[in-house]
Copies of this chain bind each other. A is one copy, B any other.
Amino acid sequence: MPTYTAPTRDTRFIVNEMLDLASYGNLPGFENATPDMIDTVINEAGKFCAEVLAPLNQIGDEHGCTRHEDGSVTTPPGFKEAYDAYVESGWGTIAKPEEFGGQGLPHVLGFVIEEYTGTANQAFAMYPGLTNGATAAIEAAGSQEQKEMYLPKMISGEWSGTMNLTEPHCGTDLGMIRTKAEPNDDGSYSITGTKIFISAGEHDLTSNIIHLVLAKTPGAPDSSKGISLFIVPKYILDENGEPGERNGVSCGSIEKKMGIHGNATCVLNYDGAKGWMVGEENKGLAAMFIMMNAARLGVGLQGLAQAEVSYQNAVTYALDRRQGRALTGPKDTDAKADPIFVHPDVRRMLMDAKVFNEAMRALCLWGALQVDLTHKAQTQEEREEADMLIGLMTPVIKGYGTDKGYDIANNMQQVYGGHGYVREWGMEQFVRDSRIAMIYEGTNGVQAMDLCGRKLPAKGGKAIQKYFAVIDEEIASVKDDETLAPIAAVLEKALGEQKAATMWFMQNAMQNPNHLGAGAHHYMHIMGIVTLGYMWLKMAKVAKEALAGDPSDKAFYEAKLTSAAYYAERWLPDAGALRRKLEAGSENMMKLTEDAFATAA
């Protein structure tokens, strides 16, 4: 059975050394995040996830969720007990507002926990994960009364939440939704329609489920400008704020899926269910986007999660499994064969995983810090800058992070040879589970268009210019360092490719928007490659400084330098090839008509 160990040393390196969280101690919430406190949270959360959640991962896959005839859903054996323990430990409350029972600590720490839970057991982690998204929307767009009614119990984990966007005929194009919201006399609405692909839509973990539902009021514009957002609790709250009457929402079926079997993906039927509008009429999509953006960062983290757990197990296997001899001559002459760890092609896959995981972790936590700064930085300028950077980076973290996370999970399965294909070893589950992350919360194609069509041109390209400046500055800062300058030089070249690609879009996309669409996926990958390169340069710089102090765990820092150099030589070269593809434009891509795609007899 696969195992999981929380990479707490690496997390501490990023949080304490690279991000230097302590230096933000003057900001609200950060003052309590002392190094000791951070270490305790990281270590205890890591232990909980490894010991309680990880052992249920394979069980969840094997058993899946069961829908009963009355529409109720049972989660896999052990999930309920683990969920209770999760709530009891308060892991979900860490970064939530103190006003509603949260601990008010930095989002960075909340993200650390989200990484660990998702890595230990993605299907399980989605239950609190969806609640997070739902509370984010209520926090941002709900009335004070709604916040007081719902947030405390959602934040504590007593209740869970869901996001209801998709319908059978529409996912990306939400302007087409058909779910109706008819106003009642008492200020509530009567919600009717069918929602599909609702993760955590029905289950036995909590005493109530708070559905956030997109629907259309009578006479609303027939487009995305006519969508409103509603709170629809599974049990309507009674006068004491406790779950009372059963509402008219039920689980019609659960999907049989490729993976994440432990999470119930539901068809939810709304049959005149009582709902309450969140925020303004017809402004539902904006509120939903708040929750989508939080969710997208969480999904990016899932790309890391499956890459990390599959990597840890592949390392164990590569050191244990003996097959063949090192190309440079036998390493272990007492045995009949060397561990496959000696083979360069195995090492290539492990190194790729290592450099992706560590840089992706750095990027996700750096992103979480921007989220914190968006709300808490001292000056308006700093807040706007952070907001701009995380807005720009969200589709990259989600889209590039999950594309590559999936590649890594596949490579780690590959390390196992035939055993990787067999269920009992668990590696194929990591691949199946990680596949969804490229699809949900907006497919990665949608992410690429969000990046190139929306985020790049916004405010005259202010965000991407800031991004270039930040990386340029980092590169310039190491120009005289003989270890770091060569790495920075390769990064500079890749950044140059990104700048050229950006320029090409500026010069060509107005004249033909298909040129933008044709290159968007390439651009997202160029930016992902460059951004992880930027993370490696930051990490290498910190490691170099640490080594100057002759630390006790020298090997840890030296490995960072080797990894940074490996990343530069093995990952950054793709930026140039991607730019060439992007600059090919859309002509040949869009030239063939439908007939040319039909299979001719």
Q: Chain A residues in contact with chain B, CB under 8 A? A: 5-10, 43, 46, 166, 169-173, 175-176, 196-197, 255-259, 312, 315, 319, 322-324, 327-328, 336-337, 341, 343-351, 354, 406, 410, 413-414, 417-418, 420-424, 428, 431-432, 435-436, 438-440, 443-445, 448-449, 512-514, 516-518, 520-521, 553, 555-556, 559, 562-563, 565-566, 569-570, 573-574, 576-578, 580-581, 584, 586, 588-601
Q: Which 7 A-B pairs have the closest CB atoms?
A: A344-B517, A9-B600, A569-B584, A258-B428, A345-B445, A327-B513, A577-B577
8 contacts between A and B (CB under 8 A): A7-B600, A196-B418, A258-B423, A553-B600, A562-B591, A569-B581, A569-B588, A570-B589
Contact B171 A341 (CB under 8 A): no
Bound Cα distance from A566 to B592, whole angstroms: 11
Given contact pairs A173-B322, A351-B592, enumerate 4 new A-B contacts (beta carbons under 8 Å).
A312-B599, A555-B595, A570-B581, A576-B577
Instruction: Pick from B8, B351, B417, B431: contact of A589, CB below 8 A.
Output: B351
Bound Cα distance from A336 to B323, whole angstroms: 59
Contact A555 B596 (CB under 8 A): yes
Q: Across the interface, which residues of B come within 8 angstroms of A170, CB to CB?
A: 323, 337
Q: Across the interface, which residues of B come within 8 angstroms of A175, CB to CB?
A: 336
Instruction: Pick from B46, B312, B327: contact of A517, CB below 8 A.
Output: B327
- The chain B residue sitting closest to A413, CB to CB, is B435
Instruction: Pick from B256, B323, B513, B514: contact of A172, CB below 8 A.
Output: B323
Bound Cα distance from A424 to B265, whole angstroms: 14
Bound Cα distance from A420 to B443, whole angstroms: 11
Contact B443 A414 (CB under 8 A): yes
Contact A414 B172 (CB under 8 A): no
- The chain B residue sitting closest to A222, CB to CB, is B336
Contact A414 B444 (CB under 8 A): yes
- The chain B residue sitting closest to A197, CB to CB, is B418
With A327-B516, A444-B414 known as contacts, the answer to whether A559 contacts B596 (CB < 8 A) is yes
Bound Cα distance from A161 to B390, whole angstroms: 58
Contact B422 A431 (CB under 8 A): no
Bound Cα distance from A209 to B411, whole angstroms: 34
Nearest chain B CB to A494's CB is how many angstroms away?
A: 11
- The chain B residue sitting closest to A168, CB to CB, is B419
Contact A176 B337 (CB under 8 A): yes
Q: Across the interface, which residues of B come within 8 angstroms of A584, CB to CB?
A: 569-570
Instruction: Pick from B8, B422, B435, B445: contact of A343, CB below 8 A.
Output: B445
Instruction: Pick from B345, B418, B424, B445: contact of A171, CB below 8 A.
Output: B418
- The chain B residue sitting closest to A448, CB to CB, is B345
Contact B514 A344 (CB under 8 A): yes
Bound Cα distance from A439 to B324, whole angstroms: 17
Bound Cα distance from A569 to B449, whole angstroms: 21
Instruction: Pick from B5, B196, B439, B521: contact of A420, CB below 8 A.
Output: B439
